[in-house]
Chain A
């Protein structure tokens, strides 16, 4: 399944939720929508699902030579941001009901269910009512509900929220398994470390607009000051003097004798080092690359500077 989203916008009354956002998702890849609360991620997801329509722009969904303006229900597995199931029914009854609504036979649904319950260590609890489960386990049941019918596209709105680190890792494994089965996955998340491990492409949003898009490497490229040097010296560092020597570089002091230099793509590592070696007694030099979390924070900070609230 391929999705091509072109310049979509959506307003709720006078409030703009999404502004001129474009992206493309290819078949079998994991695509991440990133951004703070209220960035417009869920609004985009609801337009993809067909719950709302874009005021402007277009959505083109292509699957096996058929084209749609939103993802057809039969091809979709969906975990909404606002989610829940029937708390007074067992895991099995909840999952069977949703699977049968998707058109699965009871036999096939039970087979698929057994597989995913095993993956999430819930096999022994299948007869328990949902209300007896922890919030994390309820979330796992909902993830299973979204994929039981083996959809071509799975949209997961905040799949990691409410999960402890061990279960977050399990969800990472779950998403990789979906990809291995050939499903296309769209997810929105705040957990950058998880997204970094998973996403083939990502879209970083703020206040309804796309601010960065592409692979992790693309985003690192677009992000600007993505390389940094962590430097330790034999003695204490005079920051003012350092700033005079390197007026174009951002300097972050870590301790009395350790600091970080942030370099833009145009700035030379060797020229900077030559200058420092002449002036300071260096004991350690370490090259670092900003991770997605840092890139995200930097991009958000730049966006806020450009577009004050």
Chain B
């Protein structure tokens, strides 16, 4: 089915963009950046500092780990002057003289800071307790008032696995990985095909391999690159999860939430999805004569739409939209794995969806081959959209 020449082209294309040293360096850099961000947040964490707050004498608010409340006897002007000098207080709380004001409480500080949100929470809590005392509520009554509604969901559809389950995280992970894979393929396919045209290799290659063999090789090589990017990213995600579990949370490694049955289906869907998208990208790139002047490259981003549509309906995995998306061959590679992660499906549904996807890939690779051949015969003239659609729909032999 795939010729020896296509495999040679695929190998060449895959290795052309396989720069393992650069990739390793980029992952190390990414980890260094993540570590730097973590260290920065640790050292600039305002919640670990103690803040002194001046409050009116009548406040009975208690000190917390973060805030020391002081009741100065000096006049407000003097308090504010000392606040400005930064010597005595980080903030001064007063009651608003304006009785009509909604809050009635004023916080004087030098500038906006993150710790002020925590102070606001403390003040809120204090005032709630004050009002409860005024209303003669017990601590229990106050606690119940403050408790949000605990709404429990009971799903009667036995196939639906739940809304906020690990399966949903897997589904989101699938979409992210597909996005990473297709972004990789997008750049490489565009660069590779239009680059060969710019470097004038195309005509020489035409004399050696058929346009279909050439396109098959390109698609296969860049799909492998995309899969490699997805696998590498998945491994990095898993590594981060393990590091966080073991080092940060001290929980040990627990991968029981991984649904291996769904993961086994993910691989063929992801591979075929990447192949389908790479065929489409190849077809568009083959119609571009000069990437510097053509506006067609942006059309390749259409391949990201299946992920976007699936994300938009991810909270309704049994809804009509998700059902349509999971059957439509152009979107099923993103929607069906997500649906499978969240809903138990009979085996024939993903199998049939996969079969339709295989047919779509087969058709799209033929279209890409035809567009490449016809585009090349135009010698520097870019085909119109009408011509491209005509070639795509024609059944003429290459």
Contact = CB atoms under 8 A, between A and B. Distances in A.
Contact of A84 (B5, B12, B199, B206): B199
A308 B209 CA distance: 42
B1 interface: no
Contact of B377 (A51, A82, A86): A51
Interface residues of B, number: 20
Interface string A85-105: 111010000000110111100
A127 to B, nearest CB: 17
A28 interface: no
Given A51-B377, A86-B199, A80 B12 contact: no
Contacts of B377: 51-52
**Interface range for A:** 20 to 34
Given A100-B8, A101-B8, A103-B4, A73 B201 contact: no
Contact of B207 (A49, A52, A85, A103): A49
Nearest to B214: A101
Nearest to A87: B199
A73 B204 contact: no
B8 to A, nearest CB: 5
Interface string B1-23: 00011001100100010000000
B201 A78 contact: no
A52 B209 CA distance: 15
A77 B206 CA distance: 11
Interface string A244-268: 0000000000000000000000000
A80 B208 contact: no
B213 to A, nearest CB: 9
B209 A73 contact: yes
Which DSSP category, helix, strand, loop or mixed, fits chain B's interface? Answer: helix
Interface in B188-209: 199-201, 203-209
A238 B377 CA distance: 59
A83 interface: yes
A145 B4 contact: no
B207 A82 contact: no
Nearest to B203: A80
Contacts of A83: 200, 203-204
B111 to A, nearest CB: 53
Contact of B204 (A80, A89, A100): A80
A25 B212 CA distance: 30
B203 A51 contact: yes
Contacts of B208: 73, 98, 101-102
Contacts of B376: 51
Nearest to A151: B207
Nearest to B378: A12
Interface string A121-154: 0000000000000000000001001000000000
A84 B203 CA distance: 9
Contacts of A87: 199
Contact of A101 (B9, B16, B203): B9
A89 B12 CA distance: 11
B200 A82 contact: yes
A76 interface: yes
Nearest to A78: B207
A76 B209 CA distance: 11
Nearest to B213: A101
B324 to A, nearest CB: 43
Nearest to B211: A51
Contact of B209 (A79, A84, A86, A101): A101
Contacts of A86: 16, 199, 201
Contacts of A100: 8
B12 A82 contact: no
A102 B208 CA distance: 6
B217 to A, nearest CB: 9
B73 to A, nearest CB: 78
Interface in A46-86: 49, 51-52, 73, 76-80, 82-86
Contacts of B8: 97, 100-101
B349 to A, nearest CB: 42
Contacts of A84: 199-201, 204
B286 to A, nearest CB: 15
Contacts of A77: 207
A80 B207 contact: yes
Contacts of B12: 97
Contacts of A85: 199, 201, 204
Please list the 3 inter-chain residue pairs (A to B) with the smallest Cβ-Cβ separation, ordered nearest first.
Answer: A84-B200, A78-B207, A80-B203
Interface of B: 4-5, 8-9, 12, 16, 199-201, 203-210, 376-377, 379
Given A77-B207, A82-B200, 14 more contacts: A49-B207, A51-B203, A73-B208, A73-B210, A78-B203, A78-B204, A80-B200, A83-B200, A84-B199, A84-B204, A101-B5, A102-B208, A103-B4, A103-B5
12 contacts: A73-B208, A73-B209, A73-B210, A78-B204, A78-B207, A83-B203, A84-B199, A85-B199, A98-B204, A101-B5, A101-B208, A103-B4
